[in-house]
Amino acid sequence: MSLENKLLSDMKESLRRGDKLRLSTIRLARAAIKNKEIELRKKPSEDEILGVLSSLGKKYKESIEQYKSGGRDDLAHKEEAELAVLQKYLPKPLEEKELYEMVEEVIAEVKAENKADFGKVMGLIMPRIKGRAEGQTVKEVVLKKLS
């Protein structure tokens, strides 16, 4: 079952159950996917849908930080609950150990020796990770390994 179909069936199930939080989160995700479809002028691929959901996840995380720094724990808890719903549709995040192993593998593959080879390493590793780790984290690990 494609991710889009899974979202649709889960939305229908949430409607039947009366689960408003889950329903609103799924509707938001489907709207973002529809916007991507309009932008691309074609049906988005699974990878593009994952990208949309990943960017939504990042927005939720930023909102949570903002609400907590502003002392709005009630809104932060709501955003955390919505993020938990969204994360069910995202691939399992990479553990730090797995990320280090993948980076070492790619560095060996391109025979990278110093920071000048950073672009080569990032160019190969990012498609392999596909939303399972944040770009900033990957960048830090690659720079650490190359120095």
- Give the model's pLDDT for residue 132: 84
Render each residue's pLDDT in the chain as its tens digit; 147 residues: 789 999 999 999 999 999 999 999 999 999 999 999 999 999 999 889 988 998 999 999 999 999 999 999 999 999 999 999 999 998 888 888 999 999 999 999 988 888 888 899 999 999 888 778 888 899 999 988 888
Cite the residue boundaries of each domain of the chain with CATH code 1.10.1510.10.
Answer: 3-87
- Give the model's pLDDT for residue 105: 92
Q: Compute the 3-state secondary structure of the chain and give helix, strand, coil in percent, each to the nearest 5.
A: 80, 0, 20
Cite the residue boundaries of each domain of the chain with CATH code 1.10.10.410.
Answer: 96-146
Q: Work out the widest C-alpha separation in the chain, in whole angstroms.
A: 57
- Give the model's pLDDT for residue 91: 86
- Give the model's pLDDT for residue 26: 97
Q: Give the CATH number of domain 96-146.
A: 1.10.10.410
What is residue 147's three-state secondary structure? coil
Distance CA(121)–CA(112), nearest Å, equals 7
- Is the CATH number of domain 3-87 1.10.1510.10? yes
- Give the model's pLDDT for residue 92: 87
The predicted model scores a pTM of: 0.78
- Give the model's pLDDT for residue 82: 96
Instruction: Give Cβ neighbours of residue 80 (< 8 Å, ≥ 6 apart).
Output: 60, 64
Distance CA(90)–CA(15), nearest Å, equals 22
> CB of 93 within 8 A of CB of 125?
no
